[in-house]
Each structure stands twice: as C-alpha cells, then as structure tokens.
Chains A and B, each alone.
Chain A
Amino acid sequence: MARSHKPIIWGPFAAGGTLAALIMPVLIFVTGVAVPLGILPPESLSYHRAVAFAGTWLGKLILFVFVSLPAWHAAHRARITVHDLGVRLDNIVALVVYGLAATLTITAVVALLRI
C-alpha cells in the first residue's frame, strides 16, 4: 500500500489548532487590545521585559512554538478551504500557504536567535 504523507501534515495541523484554540484569544486580547488601550499597563509589554523573556532559551522555545504551530494550522486550513471553494490548483496553493508558514517560522527563528 502506498504510504500516505497525510499524518505528517495532520499532526502539526491538529497540534497547531489545539494550541491556537488555547492561546490565541488571550494573546490577541493582551497584545492587540489590553496593552494598546491601557487595560494592562504599557510596562507589561515594554522593550526590556520582552527582551528579558525572549532572551532566555525557555522564552525562545515558547515563542517559537506559539508562532510555528498556529502558522502551520492556518496554512493547512487555508489550503483545504481554497480547495472547497473550487480552486483545483492544490500543488500551487500548498506551495504558497506552506511557504508562507515556513517563511514566518524561519523569520521568527532568525529574530529569536538575534535577541
């Protein structure tokens, strides 16, 4: 029987979907709403605090996982949805969406290693 590569794609999709479901609402609330509106003090996301967090290996690992898994999840769901909407160019679509997710992941890694 031909081996399917689906589990390789499905694993990170499910993990990313679960992680996104757990963390995205509170992260968007904190960085996009609470700090900009002053519900949380601006110092909670100050430069020095962010560098202190992203400067540790644990902080880098957390940020890497928080970015890469949801990015992969979003890319895979976008690919399936584009297929559902009748676009039958799966190879190109997959290349574009997974390429975007990979670009985000690599950019995050490079940035994290520089901090």
Chain B
Amino acid sequence: MSRKPYIRPVPKTSWYMKYMKHDRYKRYMLREVTCIFIGIYTAIIVLGLYNLSEGQESFDLFMATLRTPGALVFHLFALSFAFYHSATWFNVTPQAMPLMKGDDFVSGSLIIRVHYAAWAAVSLVILFVVGA
C-alpha cells in the first residue's frame, strides 16, 4: 500500500471531554461505571459472609450497619445501576451471541425477550426463597 490512510487523531486521555456531549458516549460511560457498584456490592456480600463466619454478634452488627442512612443511599444507587447493567446487558445479547436456526438468524427481539423473562423468573425465585 503506497497510500497512507487518514487516521483521525483521537486524544488518548481527553477524548471523553470532547465526545461526552454525545448521548451515546454518556450512555456508554454510564454502562461502564455499573461495574463500580457491582464490585462494591460484591465486597459488601463478602463482608457479610465474613461476619457470618465470625458468629451471631458480628453478623447482627453487620445487618444493623445495613440499616444506616448511608448504606441505604448506597444500595438505592447500586440498585439503579444494577438495573441499568441488566437492561444494557440483555439488550445486546442478539449481537453478543447471535443464534442460527436453519439458514436464518433467530430474531433479536425474541432473544432479548427470553433473557428478560429469565431475569424476571430468577428474581421471583430469589424473592420467594428469601421471603418464604
């Protein structure tokens, strides 16, 4: 190749300052930061398991901490971001794992709907097991 293709320069570190005015980049970043909330919540569960292994006193103290306003606010934020993760994750499943049936692709909306149905079913089972 003798011709040099034009490569539009994109700044390595400050591209988001320039592009963040576009909604798609905002949505992308919003999706990516869901991992912070999922990571912290996972750490909270591990902390709970550790306290559970320490005995009743530790575990009751842990559960009392979850009732503090700060913990509640965090969990409400985490809940919204977890919902956002679920929706964005399931909405791209047709692209992430396209399914062939015979010569045709299975319709994307069907794949998405099956995932949402599974999400609802799993949530109801967990609610039932905990609440029963």
Contact = CB atoms under 8 A, between A and B. Distances in A.
Interface of A: 14, 17-18, 20-33, 35-37, 40, 42, 44-45, 47, 50-51, 54, 63, 66-67, 70-71, 73-75, 77-78, 80-81, 84-88, 100-101, 104, 107-108, 110-112, 114-115
Contacts of B46: 67, 104, 107-108, 111
A30 B36 contact: no
A104 B43 contact: yes
Contact of A88 (B12, B33, B44, B79): B12
B58 to A, nearest CB: 9
8 smallest CB-CB distances across A and B, nearest first, come from A32-B75, A86-B13, A74-B39, A77-B35, A26-B123, A114-B53, A21-B86, A24-B82
Contacts, number: 158
A81 B33 contact: yes
A26 B50 contact: no
B126 A30 contact: yes
A22 B52 contact: no
- Dominant secondary structure at the B interface: helix
Contacts of B74: 32
Interface residues of B, number: 54
A18 B115 CA distance: 9
B90 to A, nearest CB: 6
B100 interface: no
Interface of B: 11-16, 29, 32-36, 38-39, 41-46, 48-50, 52-53, 56, 59-60, 63, 66-67, 71-72, 74-76, 78-79, 82-83, 85-86, 89-90, 96, 115, 118-119, 122-123, 126-127, 130-131
Given A25-B83, A26-B122, A54 B52 contact: yes
A88 B36 CA distance: 20
A28 B45 CA distance: 10
Contacts of B53: 110-112, 114-115
A74 B130 contact: no
B126 A23 contact: yes
Given A24-B38, A75-B39, A86-B13, A36 B49 contact: no
- Among B12, B83, B85, B90: residue with most chain A CB under 10 A: B85
